[in-house]
Structure 1
């Protein structure tokens, strides 16, 4: 049964092509997120022929202090992918103008013009309520909340809206992470490494580590591999219903 990794910052690895080939060789279905549409454009041709790899068109909220979203480029590139990420909101420590820039970009990225049933991988650090409201207002059907660490009350709303949450190995080592995991119904669970940022035993995560990380999760969520594969397969089917 193929393994799944829904959130990887491939361009932050020292040798992205080598890591991508490892994902492909191990038959791990993988979503490579980008932080800017310009980066998606730069890397698209490198990964478009891979069977197990999907490159996501993104605009990370933390880059909003340096860049404005190039809406025309985003719109031009959207036809090349059914996957969007990393996108979302993260403005608690930012000035009002950066907050407004993030919100404007996220509202555009999730707009009916863009979403059309695409799968989103979502960042919402201390902004989970606003993020969820925008997703719902814009009718986004398919979202994966990446490394969720917010309020349990909002978590329940995310679940009620049919969205997924991707778990990474760091969550097994924190009280809050385990609390989130304990609250999740098994049909909303996916997996991510968040490589190369979320370390495993103090080391950068590579594809060869993923089967061992799945085993660690199996101690907390029995049949973890089967659950994640089933959920991801369902998500792909749902995505194709809304083209």
Structure 2
């Protein structure tokens, strides 16, 4: 059976009326890791997960935004501390690479926040879902190594060859989006990264191009990603489905 898990989606950013259809339309969809961006996002993902058991919430603060006040951050950490048993992971957390291309930011407070999440993730016993691309990924690897963190998932990763080698050696996982179907750079990354450490995601509702142009991003798009990974890796579709499903299920300790 072609079972899939969406390893990274923002269900809280979809219209509530569409949740049921997104979750139930594809019978092969076994679970969705729904990541959070703010305290309010955490609370909404909690609500969605209470409505649908296959939705596994991750709590965190998305780095591609201006940081909240120290009081607001304290409130966020206090809330996660009270609700950490139900979350599947800490995420989405990381560094503001794209925001930093538009504005001149001081990275120091973002680094402090990320390190706080890393420390708390160890206390909570939860894996990390990371937004860290290009040169930011090197900095994040430094922090993970500093705190001896091994369970790290770099979603929609892009980066230099030396960073890829470092991440492979550390056993960090990456996930690819539907753009693997039409982007040669992502295809090259998937060919280079061990199948044992790969996952698939949508990052929905982020829109895609190619065969997905003008379509609402939904988990069923993952099937085309899996087929492309099978082609790139030279394995059967059945093998690709099984590897990607087991990778995600084991990483997140899912009992799907």
1:18 match: secondary structure: helix
- Who is 1:164 aligned against? 173
CA drift at 1:106: 0.5
| Aligned residue among 86, 93, 98 for 1:87 | 93
- Who is 2:34 aligned against? 32
Tell me, yes or no, if structure 1 residue 71 matches structure 2 residue 82.
Answer: no
Q: How does 1:25-174 map to 2 (within 5 A)?
A: 25-48=27-50, 50-63=52-65, 65-68=66-69, 69=73, 70-91=76-97, 92-93=100-101, 94-97=103-106, 99-112=107-120, 114-126=122-134, 127-174=136-183
Contact 1:144 1:166 in 2 (8 A): yes
CA distance in 2, matches of 1:213, 1:179: 14
CA distance in 1, matches of 2:179, 2:93: 21
Contact 1:4 1:29 in 2 (8 A): yes
Aligned residues: 237
Contact 1:167 1:192 in 2 (8 A): yes
CA distance in 1, matches of 2:246, 2:228: 19
Contact 1:146 1:166 in 2 (8 A): yes
Root mean square deviation of aligned Cα: 2.5
Tell me, yes or no, if structure 1 residue 176 matches structure 2 residue 169.
Answer: no
Instruction: Give unmatched runs, 5+ long, in structure 1.
Output: none
Question: Which range is displaced more, 118-127 or 101-110?
Answer: 118-127
1:56 match: secondary structure: strand
Instruction: Give unmatched runs, 5+ long, in structure 2.
Output: none
- Who is 2:241 aligned against? 225
CA drift at 1:82: 3.1
CA distance in 2, matches of 1:115, 1:197: 32
CA drift at 1:100: 1.9
* TM-score (norm: length of structure 2): 0.81
CA distance in 2, matches of 1:74, 1:108: 13
- Who is 1:18 aligned against? 20
- Who is 1:201 aligned against? 212
2:203 match: secondary structure: coil
Contact 1:19 1:206 in 2 (8 A): no
CA distance in 2, matches of 1:112, 1:39: 19
Inter-CA distance 213–158: structure 2 relative to 1 (3 Å threshold): closer
Contact 1:118 1:141 in 2 (8 A): no
CA drift at 1:178: 1.8
CA distance in 2, matches of 1:113, 1:217: 30
